[in-house]
Chain A
Amino acid sequence: MALSRRGLLAGALATTTSIALAACGDGSSSADEGADAKTLTLWHYEGPTSAMGVAWNKAIEIFKRKHPGVEVKFEEKSFEQIQQNAQMILNSDSAPDIMEYNKGNATAGLLSKQGLLTDLSDQFGKYGWDKLLSGSLQTTAKYDDDGIMGSGRFFGVPNYGEYVMVYYNKALFDKYEIAVPTTFDQFTAAMDTFVKNKVTPLAVGGAEYPAQQIFYELALAKADRAFVDDYQLYKNKVDFNGPVISYGAQAFADWVSKGYLGKDSAGIKAEDMGVSWEQGKFPILISGSWWYGRFVNEVKNFEWGTFLFPGNTLHPGSSGNLWVVPQKSRAKSLAYDFIDITMSPEVQNLLGNSGGVPVAADPAAITDAKNKELIENFTKLTSSDGLAFYPDWPAPGYYDVLVAGVQGLINGSKTPQAFRDEIAKPYQENLADLGK
């Protein structure tokens, strides 16, 4: 959730002072600056046992081997600290030489607009990163002069991807003799079977991001790339009463009335949703690949598997967070070298084997069968240009609008029509603010 509430708070604070800060930034630097630097200060905020943490540790090791005279000063930061302060830190002498940062208009886009990030366009060509990253992955790495993603110059490099899929409990599927669905109709038929047996099929967290991603997934069933470009990149006006969003809202309301998700799920948080699925209380969970590594480590009581949401060519998902090089970095060329190492097959394959979703791994080098399935599904998605980003991205504060709207659908206090009107308004207002 690049545009989480915390991010928006930071963004709101940020915009008020953006002018003052931009005035302080000095933009003079050449591409080979810092080639003889003796230290590389590197920040990221992934846990040491997460797939990214493991892979990036390896990357640091390789970097040290290649640059024996350089000291790598690595600090694990908190997500919160980077979200709140990135702008202030990058404008001070405490800025790191390279760091992980959130993709999105309110984060990387805003900083690029203020001149706090180094333009990496030349490096993309020089190191060939543009060939490793497919189209929809590049979308979140590029920002235009207004800080809006999708076009313009490159300001970051994603190492990993993420996408929403269906996790299912094999034990419960076997118990009710349900085959893994391959079409949308089979999927709903499977859920009908569960409902008939008094089992609520879906674990849903309505108080946070999961429910809106299910709504978006349903809407995407009727969408094409042009809709995603309109909705996310403001290419054309979006009709909230058009076929795509109407279908998504109606289908979601139908799922509620058919009992696919519990009425009480409106108040459930994502964490509790995940734990309830891990406990085997629900057979199906529709959520993102960020759960994958955790489920591998923690689910011991039943077999489970995943499949892509049946029938869709587009799915919620995007590149992961970005490596960015601050404008104030004192070791830019070392930072480029480091990024190139993280894109190398060795690090990418390790990321894949650790339960992450690499952007440029060799599928043959992924040894674990489960991870292979995860990565193959992602490759399927990227090769068909199937990443549709997340529903809350287009406007600041939209996350909360969608949470409240979908909660209304779950507890039946809002009709699909009322829901559409409610979510249309802030979206259109934001467009007006942007002058589109």
Chain B
Amino acid sequence: MTVTPSRASFRARHPTRFLILALLLVLLLLVVAPLLVVAINAVKSPADYAAHGPLALPGHLHWKGVVDFWNRVDFGLKLWNSFITSLVVAVLGVVLSVCNAYALGVGRVKGRIWFLVFFLIANLLPQEALVYPLYHLSKQLGLYDSLFSIIIIFTVVQSAFGTYLLTSVYTEFPKELLEAASIDGAGRWRALWRVVVPVSRPTLAVLFTFFFIWTWNEFFLPLIFLISNDNQTVPVALGVLQGDRLMDATTTSASALIGIVPAMVFFLLFQRTLTRGVAAGAIK
């Protein structure tokens, strides 16, 4: 007797399930479509593109666009520049955020609300507004056209967000843990590194991943501060193909493809830390 209702409900659920699946497939297609178009055009010869348009499948695989672009902008060097700046910014940004948030969230410094408001405003400030002050500063310090300028700027920019986020996490930090630590004779410094950081590690991993990807994708400030081709990062190098009036569609696709691959690889590598970090937040 118990079988009948379950079978009935299975039958009833079946069409909606199918509908949801179809809907999800359409959504997936919508999300993946631009990437597919990029991939298709990256391996298409310019003449093929001209004759059949952007949506047709390539007649044969044409890797020359990718190879030419790689050599033209010395892409290996750009990858290294992007990697090293993103990594240093992500590490320094997380460290700085932790120190700030420890003082503001756990330490409950006087006027911390105003600090947070300040960080929030710094976060919302458009980068265009920062350009000229930063330009003059970096020129006086001799950091114009140097990766250091980008590292310093983005460490500060990212940690402004990190401080804001981590502070709200640390205000909720369980008091008992800190009290236990201080009873065990741990000072503030030890409590930070032995208790607070390990407990909030999943959140820090998420911050690290975001800082890395955000810095990797930055275009505007690197475009302005990294003048020499030897110092440029990946997004700036991709700009070479955007002409005055013309765009080279196939080479642009090729460059877009090799431009997003590193970010995707990084994302896949850190996907687990991301889900873990988000889940950790959910349990709290």
How far, in whole Å, are A80 and B3 apart by their CA atoms in the complex? 68
Taking the closest CB of chain B, its distance from the CB of A286, in whole angstroms, is: 14
Q: Are A94 and B53 in touch, CB under 8 angstroms?
A: no
* Known A84-B223, A294-B246; contact A94-B145, beta-carbon cutoff 8 A: yes
Which residues from chain B contact A275 at a C-beta distance below 8 Å? Answer: 49-50, 53-54, 249
Residue of A nearest to B243 (CB): A79
Q: Which of A47, A77, A88, A209 contacts B135 (CB 8 A)?
A: A88
* Residue A413 lies at the interface, judged by CB distance under 8 Å to chain B: no
Residue B46, interface by CB 8 Å: yes
**Contacting pair B247 A75 (CB below 8 A):** no
Q: Is the CB of A94 within 8 A of B228?
A: yes
Determine if B76 is an interface residue (Cβ-Cβ < 8 Å). Answer: no
Question: Are B242 and A92 neighbours in the complex by a CB distance under 8 Å?
Answer: no
In the assembled complex, which residues on chain B have CB atoms less than 8 Å from the CB atom of A271? 246-247, 249
Contact with A along B217-241 (1 / 0, CB 8 A): 0000001100111000000100111
Q: A4-B244, A48-B72, A270-B245 are in contact. Are A279 and B223 (CB under 8 A)?
A: no
Judged by a CB distance under 8 angstroms, whether B132 is at the interface is yes
CB atoms of A298 and B49 under 8 A apart = yes
B248 within 8 A of A: yes
Which residues from chain B contact A79 at a C-beta distance below 8 Å? 239, 242-244
Q: Secondary structure of the B side of the interface? A: helix
- A89 contacts partner chain B, Cβ-Cβ < 8 Å: yes
Task: Determine if A75 and B224 form an interchain contact, defined as CB atoms under 8 angstroms apart.
Answer: no
A13 and B128 in contact (CB under 8 A), knowing A94-B228, A301-B51?
yes
The one of A17, A20, A77 that contacts B240, using a Cβ cutoff of 8 Å: A77
Contact A300 B242 (CB under 8 A): no
Whether A81 pairs with B46 at a CB distance below 8 angstroms is: no
A269-291: which have CB < 8 Å to B? 270-271, 275-276, 278-279, 288, 290-291
B108 located at the interface, meaning its Cβ lies under 8 Å from any Cβ of chain A in the complex: no
Q: Kindly report which residue of chain A lies nearest to residue B230, judged by CB atoms.
A: A75
Q: Does A1 contact B (CB under 8 A)?
A: yes
A299 adjacent to chain B (CB < 8 Å) = yes
Contact residue among B50, B139, B240 (Cβ-Cβ distance under 8 Å from A278): B50
Given contact pairs A85-B227, A279-B52, A298 touches B47 in the complex (Cβ within 8 A): yes
Distance in Å from the Cβ of A11 to the closest Cβ of chain B? 14
In the bound complex, CA of A209 to CA of B244 (Å): 12
- Interface pairs A-B: 10 shortest CB-CB: A298-B50, A78-B239, A278-B50, A78-B240, A94-B145, A94-B227, A75-B229, A80-B239, A290-B245, A298-B47
